[in-house]
Amino acid sequence: MRYILAFLLVPALALAHTMSPTDYIRGNVDAVIAILTDPAHSGETISDAQMDQISAMADDFFDVPELSKRALGQYWRTFTQDQRLEFQKIFVQLLKSVYLKRSITYNNERVIFDQEILKSEILAEVHTTLTSPELHVPVFYYLTKRSGTWKVYDIAVENVSLVKNYRSQFQSILQTKSPDQLMAILKEKINEQG
């Protein structure tokens, strides 16, 4: 069964700098659910307008530089500054066009906020569970605080880390290809998604 993962890519709220990590995630989950349940967009499938709203939110939700650095792992050092900036743009597009579009559904699931773990003043985890009568999916958010605002740098759904998954793919490619070739491959994948 597919389930809502749209809340993975949502906006930083205006008061994010005063929020706890749990409040930050909860506010963003609520914002996406509001978009998905908007009566103006009734129907079984997510409308283009809803998808556009959620997609536009992703840039503020993620700590894109940290997410990119972790996804590239040891190869981050092999990228020039310009390549790093270009990779960040492409990687966010990839997340939006591939991951987000494949994962958005909403069937009145509930998000239970199980635990917040403050690792330090700037690192935290928020453990949630996505539930419905036939569903029980653990979703863990890994956050960092930059300029006073919490941002997500990784998500694990059923113990599968977004960062580790992409790191494995990227490292496999970068063993034989250059950073520019990796980015060309990712652009092609984005274009295939239309």
**What pLDDT is recorded for position 54?**
82
The candidate with the shortest Cα–Cα distance to 12, out of 60, 80, 65, 72, is: 60
Cite the beta strand spans of 77-184 per DSSP E.
110-118, 123-132, 135-146, 149-157, 160-161
Q: In 10 A of CB 87, how many CB atoms?
A: 26
When the pLDDT of each residue in the chain is averaged and rounded to a whole number, the result is 86
pLDDT, tens digit (0-9, with 9 covering 90-100), for 83-126: 999 999 999 999 988 777 666 666 778 999 999 999 999 999 99
**What pLDDT is recorded for position 6?**
47
Q: What domains does the chain contain, in order, with CATH numbers?
A: 6-193 (3.10.450.710)
Q: State CA 61 to chain mean position distance.
A: 7
